[in-house]
Amino acid sequence: MSADHIAPAVTTNFIRNIVEADLAAGKYTARRFSGRPGPAGVQASASPDQAKIRTRFPPEPNGYLHYGHAKSICLNFGLARDYGGACHLRFDDTNPTREEQEYVDSIIDAVHWLGFDWGENLYYASDYFDWLYEFAEALIAAGLAYVDSLSADEIREHRGNLTEKGRNSPHRERGVAENMDLFRRMKAGEFADGAHVLRLKIDMGSPNFNLRDPIAYRVRHATHHRTGDKWCIYPMYDYTHGISDALENITHSVCTLEFEDHRPLYDWLNEKLGAMNLLNLPLPHQYEFSRLNLTYVVLSKRRLIQLVDEGHTDGWDDPRMPTLVGARRRGFTPAGFRLFAERIGVSKSDSWIDMSLLEDCMREDLNEKAERRIAVLDPIKLVIDNYPVGQEETCFAPNHPLKPELGKREMPFSKELWIEREDYMEVPAKGYRRLYPGNMVRLRYGFVVKCSGADYDGEGNLLAVHCEYLPDSKSGTPGSDSYKVKGNLHWVSLLHAYPAEVRLFDRLFSSPHPGAGSDGERAYLADLNHDSKKVVIAYLEPALKAAQPEESFQFERHGYFVADRVDSQPARPVFNRTVTLRDSWGST
């Protein structure tokens, strides 16, 4: 998208206001470049049209993305889209012991699934390992970094606390030559893990812990998923992140609020390296916004791992998990997430968003897109006593009541049908409008029937419901509108329906704030909703046999369902409930 065809922002927020002010001021129209070539494509496009902004989404490939990441993805890619810029996907792969290609692949797939693309701007922090090392040597040479030989516990003890300033390490005043020698020997693999670290020399008395001589490099003899065994020292995130932004000519580095205290370090590093003519100017700036706090879920990576590893869920893609791969399997939609991100907005203040808002966004999107079908989830037989034995006929149901252009589908009708068990009561409750002896209802898209009773076994269990139909009452035929009944039931033909596995998913936790008010790291597990997954064998109308994996439908009266992308087989789809038709938690 060219700079003179900027799509208007749908909603405004403080970050968009900053972007618009920067563009209006021409802040990024003239850059001073170092002699460094920069990542492919970035510098080449930077000079003539740098009025475009550049944002980035920088996940660590050590797990699956969750709902909170969706907010960040929509924000960063949305800014670039709306202001004619570019958004980079950059993997923060600086910790080889926790990262796997599986996670890289899943993240790429999730961002694409949400509807965003980075074009040629796919990067890895490991792309910059050579430069990051070079910059570290430059900082040592300038007296701004030193090799510390304290243990991790000793470094922690020297760092002080909220009421006590930190104390200088006894190695802080090592000379440049000694620091350079030790750092190069660290790189050469002469030392064991933990023997030395490289620290930035800033201020051990700073009230900001991030400035108390933070660690820039540590020794770690581990194979990296991209660089193999080339390196045995790896940079820390705080050292890598800002430099990577600067190398890629990022203009607006948008982070969540927990990184606000890290911004002084971000600026310190880039300003020092920029003054050495090692980074392009102007430098990127970091802006923070509130992360997603969503009720009825946990978004802590540690807790998500625990849910999977301890078998509380069926894996990362369990439809109850608040991961994007789980959301996709559940039938949540990319458009629903984008609508959700737009509605919750972007602010600097933390607040809780109720899960019902996310579910409503999914309902709104699916109501527009999903064709209608019929499924009986708790079946009981309905016998039409006066319908001819062996006779069959066709009823017609609209594929979408709001989209007549989608046409109608055939629904076979016969003497015996499946209906929902809850649609019959021997002694009706007040206001009950379905089947009970003597009452008349319409079989949706079919005939009006009058209930004549029911069959029970010796223990009083309902076996079948009986009725008689009115032959001149078929929906869509002349005179059928003359029958005024209050009940309207869905059904499927017993002869033509087919049994299918249907999974009824609900919220994973029964409390809006899992673990709140209780002590202990595992307290949140006490709030697990043990009814969050129920599996039933339902009877489905024949048209659903053709459902393809990830194809969504509204099962009339029941909610929105999707053909499972993992377990569905040709002509035998398995369905997952995405969301009910209404918020069933509204009164809780």
Phi, psi values for residue 469, rounded to 5°: -100, 160
Dist CA 22 CA 215 (whole Å): 33
Q: What is the CA radius of gyration of the chain?
A: 31
- Given 20, 36, 60, 550, which residue is catalytic? 60
The strand ranges marked E within 86-152 are 86-91, 122-124, 145-148
The answer for residues whose C-beta is within 8 angstroms of residue 537's C-beta and 6 or more apart is 499, 500, 501, 502
CA-to-CA distance for 112 and 418, rounded, in angstroms?
A: 41
301 classed as catalytic = yes
Catalytic residue among 301, 372, 408, 444: 301
Q: Which of 144, 130, 128, 132 is nearest to 179 (CA)?
A: 144
Per DSSP bridges, beta strands 462-469 and 379-384 are: parallel
3-state SS class at 382: strand
**H-run or E-run covering 68:** helix 67-82
- Set 291, 372, 444, 450: catalytic member: 291
Give the strand pairing for 352-353 and 293-294. Answer: parallel
Helix (H) or strand (E) holding 307: helix 301-309
Q: Is 484 a catalytic residue?
A: no
In the residue annotation, 291 being an active-site residue is answered as: yes
- Measured between alpha carbons, how far is 68 from 88 in angstroms, rounded to an integer? 18
Task: Determine the Cα–Cα distance for residues 442 and 457; give it in Å rounded to an integer.
Answer: 27
Cα–Cα distance between 453 and 450 in angstroms, integer? 9
**How many residues are recorded in the chain?**
588
**How far is CA 297 from its chain centroid?**
12
Active site residue ranges: 60, 291, 301
